[in-house]
Amino acid sequence: MTVTRFAPSPTGWLHIGNLRTALFNYLIARKSGGQFILRLDDTDRERSKEEFIDGIKADLEWLGLHWDRVERQSERLERYAEMAAKLRAAGRFYECFETPAELELKRKKQLNMGRPPVYDRAALKLDEAARERLRAEGRQGYWRFQLEHERIEWTDGILGELSIDAASVSDPVLIRADGQVLYTFASSVDDMDMGITDVVRGNDHVTNTATQIQIIRAMGGEPPAFAHHSLLTGAQGEALSKRLGTLSLRDLRAQGVAREALLSLLARLGSSQPVALRVSLDEIAEGFDLAQFGSAPTKFDAADLWPLTRAHIQSLPYQAAAERLAGLGVPADTAPAFWEAVRENIDRLDDLAGWWALCRDGAEPLIAPEDEGFVAEALLLLPPPPYGPQSWAEWTAAVKAATGRKGKALFMPLRKALTGRENGPDMAALMPLMQRIRALEPR
């Protein structure tokens, strides 16, 4: 069975980059009838917070990315300790004592000599007496995994054949001096134990993948199939990392972005397939294919979400908006006609409030100086509300006969006088909904 996972760290809100990873893994599982695991990488005790866990779940539920089960790394610490002991016994874990300052000095020296800044494995030369002296000095040991210096090769689901020389990579730190188990180790243990078959993540993890392949094999497991998608940039190719806080899913949802727009865009962005609105995850999964994606940085422009959101909203039946309309106070006998009149003139559902306020309370007239006389004459021919389906046609016909105006010169000034806007719904449909016309009131 295909088993995938989405493994966010609950140290902040989910953002667009997280969604891309979650969606790819979800679609792989859904398309094959497999399992999708939500795994919370919450070993960072200081930064992991329950409010972020709740937020992650709320975002995924809103998007329809339902998981088969939840796993928490904080509940698996004994298992990590067990596997760490196994790797120590196999001679693949070794204790180090260098301070960050000492490591930085080593890196600078290596760079100055034209060498790659790879850890020199000095700690392997320490005997037990030397380690005890360092501990007596107050130093706390942390643990590295000893890589086998060979080429690590795999077939990536997006990038193709990859090969990394392990000698060009520092032995990764897997357990910090304070005992915190780091991502590279915990993730390797989890992927092995949970039978993860496919992992899709950003291509900034390629080096992690190389080391995790060795770690999993050292523990007696078989690595999953890996695929690394391109990283998102801003619309101009700029780094997106500094803007991710403004691109959180909860903020986009609050702005009125439709989930269908997010899913449709992120499922195709960076692939050879065109982006088109899809209303269900089954439709999105049907055409999803990792092989269609490239390795080049992918430009993401939040503005692209709005045409898709608009298209989705305009396709909705009245029943989909009925609850929102009732909350605005639109009478039940008026709501269906109101929805049909205005839905093609809204970018998000929140825009309904403005159109209902116009119908209920009227609008400040917008009258150009050159049209003041014309509008005043036209308003003398307009009775007060209520209006019917023929009111707009009858009024404009009467104004045309009285003034001789026609076309845009006739209709635009009248629209602006009644609605205070240059654009909007068809006036024949809108006028019967208007309960107040401020232009008719004494000024």
Q: What is the CATH number of the domain that holds 260?
A: 1.10.1160.10
Q: Characterize 143-169 residue by residue with b for buried, 16 or more Cβ atoms within 10 angstroms of its Cβ, and e for exposed.
A: bbbbbeeeebebebbbbeeeebebeeb
Same-domain status, 278 and 376? no
Q: What is the span of the domain harbouring residue 247? A: 234-313
Same-domain status, 328 and 309? no
Task: Give strand pairing partners of 3.
Answer: 35
Tokens 């667009």, located at residue: 16
With 70 as the cut, is the pLDDT of residue 96 above it? yes
Q: Is 231 left (phi over 0), alpha (psi -120 to 50) or beta?
A: beta
Provide the strand spans (E) within 269-356: 298-299
CA–CA distance, 413 with 212 (Å, rounded to integer): 69
Provide the pairing of β-strand 3-6 with 35-40.
Answer: parallel
The per-residue DSSP string of 81-103 comes to: HHHHHHHHHTT-EEEE---HHHH
Tell me which of 278, 293, 313 is where a domain ends.
313
With 80 as the cut, is the pLDDT of residue 168 above it? yes
CA–CA distance, 356 with 372 (Å, rounded to integer): 27
Three-state SS letters, 43-77: CCCCCCCHHHHHHHHHHHHHHCCCCCEEEEHHHCH
Same-domain status, 269 and 357? no
pLDDT for res 246: 65
pLDDT for res 242: 52
Q: What is the mean pLDDT of the chain?
A: 95
Task: Look up the pTM and report it.
Answer: 0.88
With 90 as the cut, is the pLDDT of residue 135 above it? yes
> Is residue 248 assigned to a domain?
yes
Tell me which of 313, 346, 361 is where a domain ends.
313
Span of 152-156, 198-202, 235-239, 328-332 with lowest mean pLDDT? 235-239
- 8 A C-beta contact, residue 56 and residue 10: yes
* Structure confidence by residue, pLDDT tens digits, 8-49: 999 999 999 999 999 999 999 999 999 999 999 999 888 999
CA–CA distance, 185 with 403 (Å, rounded to integer): 82
Q: Which amino acid appears at position 72 of this protein?
A: R
Same-domain status, 368 and 410? yes
CA–CA distance, 184 with 137 (Å, rounded to integer): 29
> Is residue 174 assigned to a domain?
no
pLDDT for res 268: 95
Same-domain status, 366 and 288? no
- Which residues contact residue 45 at a Cβ distance below 8 angstroms, ignoring those fewer than 6 apart? 74, 180
With 70 as the cut, is the pLDDT of residue 245 above it? no
pLDDT confidence bin for 443, thresholds 50/70/90: confident
> Is residue 77 assigned to a domain?
no
CA proximity to 277, closest of 256, 288, 290, 263: 263
Same-domain status, 275 and 377? no
Same-domain status, 282 and 327? no
Same-domain status, 248 and 302? yes
Average pLDDT over residues 219-246: 84
The H-assigned helical ranges of 243-317 are 249-255, 259-266, 281-286, 305-315
**Count of structural domains, the chain:** 2
CA–CA distance, 408 with 353 (Å, rounded to integer): 28
Average pLDDT over residues 134-162: 96
Same-domain status, 288 and 373? no
CA–CA distance, 136 with 296 (Å, rounded to integer): 51
Average pLDDT over residues 186-213: 97
Tell me which of 268, 289, 313 is where a domain ends.
313
> Is residue 57 assigned to a domain?
no
pLDDT for res 251: 92
Q: Which helix H or strand E contains 162, and what residues bound it?
A: strand 160-165
Span of 123-132, 244-253, 356-365, 389-398 with lowest mean pLDDT? 244-253
Same-domain status, 354 and 250? no
* Structure confidence by residue, pLDDT tens digits, 261-298: 999 999 999 999 999 999 899 999 988 999 999 989 89
CA–CA distance, 326 with 172 (Å, rounded to integer): 58
Structure tokens at 325: 């309309």
Average pLDDT over residues 338-343: 97
CA–CA distance, 310 with 258 (Å, rounded to integer): 8
pLDDT for res 241: 63
Structure tokens at 51: 């409010």
* Structure confidence by residue, pLDDT tens digits, 290-319: 999 998 989 999 999 999 999 999 999 999
> Is residue 61 assigned to a domain?
no
> Is residue 48 assigned to a domain?
no
Residue 244: is it exposed, middle or buried by C-beta count within 10 angstroms (0-12/13-18/19+)?
middle
For the four alpha carbons of 424, 430, 436 and 440, in that order, the dihedral sign comes to: positive
Same-domain status, 330 and 248? no
Same-domain status, 327 and 436? yes
> Is residue 328 assigned to a domain?
yes
> Is residue 91 assigned to a domain?
no
